[in-house]
Amino acid sequence: MSECRIISVASRKGGVGKSTTARNLGYYLAEQGKRVLLVDIDSQGNLSTGFGEPKIATVGGTIVDPMWAVMQDEQLPTSETFIKHSGKLDYIPCNESLAALELQMVSVIQREFTLKSVLDKIKSEYQYIFLDCGPSLGLMTVNALVASDSVLIVSSPEEDSNTGAELLVKSIQQIRRNLNKSLEVEGILMNMVVERSVLTRDILQKTYDTFGEVIKIYDTKIPRTLQIGRAKLEQKSIFEYASKSKAAIAFENFGKEFLAIGGMFE
């Protein structure tokens, strides 16, 4: 196994906290002295706007630039032009221009391997690369799963959340059969958990019943709290925004659990 672990942060459901998890887990690991890169591969650009990046498609210096170079069989632009920095964290932003690139990618040979080709050239600089996926299983998410060592599934306890996770697990199995044999599942992180809610408790139980035997479900649950949204508005991680909040403590505990387990091998 290479020294760098590439992890897709994914779910087949929107708004469950993928970008929030990538940002805060990434921040925690960077603070622990790990070399971390976050890559936004969702054309909504929510991870990127959280760092103050513009959504406008005409702005360059995003993941589109090196992917375009791979598609054209050209040399990658120098990494300083598309890798940005926020404190100890490095990130590659994206914006709406990624949607146009995705359309053009459809006709490229080996299209599922475009992102992998980019990451292969920069991964030696990092210990962890997190790919913040969008909610659909489009070509960019497939690219992420092909480029990854593992998938961190984010879920929130709602009526249909297990269906979303099941769909993702099916997609992972398909990718494993066809495109990336060694893709693993890191685990399932439950986000937006409301303590003492009967519905939350019932759905959590169902999640354990459905996946508990085969997939690690992290002990740490991230609570639903307004501070997470407020931190995002201020373009900060929860640690920078409110270091003693319940959410910061939860993300710290999750970071520790993540490091202690270090990936599940099936």
Ligand X SMILES: Nc1ncnc2c1ncn2[C@@H]1O[C@H](COP(=O)(O)OP(=O)(O)OP(=O)(O)O)[C@@H](O)[C@H]1O
Q: Candidates 13-21, 53-61, 76-84, 116-124 — which segment interacts with ligand X by CB under 6 A?
A: 13-21
3-class DSSP string for 48-78:
HHCCCCCCCCCCCCCCHHHHHHHHCCCCCCC
Of the candidate residues 134, 164, 187, 255, the single one contacting ligand X (CB under 6 A): 134
Minimum CB separation from ligand X for residue 150, in Å? 18
Burial state string for 192-227 with b = 16 or more CB within 10 A and e = fewer than 16: bbeeeeeebeebbeebeebbeeebbbbebbbbbbee
57 binds, among ligand X, Mg ion, none (CB under 5 to 8 A by kind): none
List contacts with Mg ion (CB under 5 A): 18-19, 46
In angstroms, what is the minimal distance from the CB of 132 to Mg ion?
6
Angle (CA) 51-37-16 rounded to 5° is: 65
Q: Which residues contact 90 (CB under 8 A, 6 or more apart)?
A: 35, 36, 37, 38, 83, 84, 126
Q: Is the dihedral of CA 149, 264, 137, 254 positive or negative?
A: negative
Please report whether residue 14 would count as binding ligand X according to CB under 6 A. yes
d(CA 127, CA 150): 14
Smallest separation (angstroms) from ligand X to the CB of 64: 18
19 binds ligand X (CB under 6 A): yes
Binding mask 186-215 for ligand X (x = CB under 6 A): -----xx-----------------------
- Is position 15 an interface residue for ligand X (rule: CB under 6 A)? yes
Least distance CB 41 / ligand X (angstroms): 10
Under the rule (CB under 6 A), what is the footprint of ligand X? 14-20, 42, 44, 46, 134-135, 191-192, 222, 224-225, 228-229, 232
